[in-house]
Amino acid sequence: MTLSGKVAIVTGGVHGIGRAIAETFAKAGAHVVVADIEMDDAPGIQFVRADAGSARDIAAVVEAAATISGRIDVLCNNAAWLGPGHAALEAADEEWERCFQVSLLGTQRYTAAVLPYMQRQAGGSIINIASVQGLVGGRNSAAYTSIKHAIVGFTRSAAYDYGLQNIRVNAICPGAITTRISPKAGDELHQRQISKTFLGRTGQPHEVAAAALFLASDAASYITGAAIPVDGGWTAM
């Protein structure tokens, strides 16, 4: 699959799943702009420091991407805020607010900012990184789980609204993926994650990136409004 000549924005793309997606898009030929609160360097990728909770930063990222060729072909909303996590009784307003501002409102703002470009060019692919917790519940994560469910709903709504303009909007729902913030092998949480998969292991960021590449590419031209689990079978139990 190729993204040759396409311009792609990946939010939260310095580490983990976002980094794997950005690198995969670049290898497929895309001009990639990564937006993150941290900065890095990688071949074929332009990094812009930005907070997904800031409307001003989001506008700057989209402007930077648009200067490449006047197009924005792919948006991958990966940026999210993941705090310590609490059940509903203990979750403070600050936890809810930050999760809402970065994960959900950030997704909305990036989407609204790129849509005029996609409308002018009569096409585009928007990929929202949700979670299995956008499809099922999770312990001690009232805010995170609620917002990820909202991202799935947002995905379906936007797909409905812009489908006739050839703008596809899909969500990927990763399960337990090994990243720098994952529980260590052998920990109780790690063992619980493995027990919830059919494959008996946690996933790797490149396995989520492969799904994102497919959805970004023309190979997925008839797929929109989908929430695709990449979870080793977690949500099929």
Query: Which residues are catalytic, by number?
Result: 144
Tell me how many degrees the CA angle 47-78-226 measures, rounded to the nearest 5: 140
Q: Which of 17, 11, 7, 158 is nearest to 74 (CA)?
A: 7
Burial 156-188 (b: 16+ CB within 10 A, else e): bebbeebeeeebbbbbbbbbbbbbeeeeeeeee
Q: What is the DSSP letter of 137?
A: -
Six-digit token string for 6: 């396409």
**Alpha carbons 179 and 17: distance in angstroms, whole number:** 8
- Cβ–Cβ < 8 Å for 90, 27: no
Cα first-last separation, the chain = 31
**Alpha carbons 154 and 235: distance in angstroms, whole number:** 20
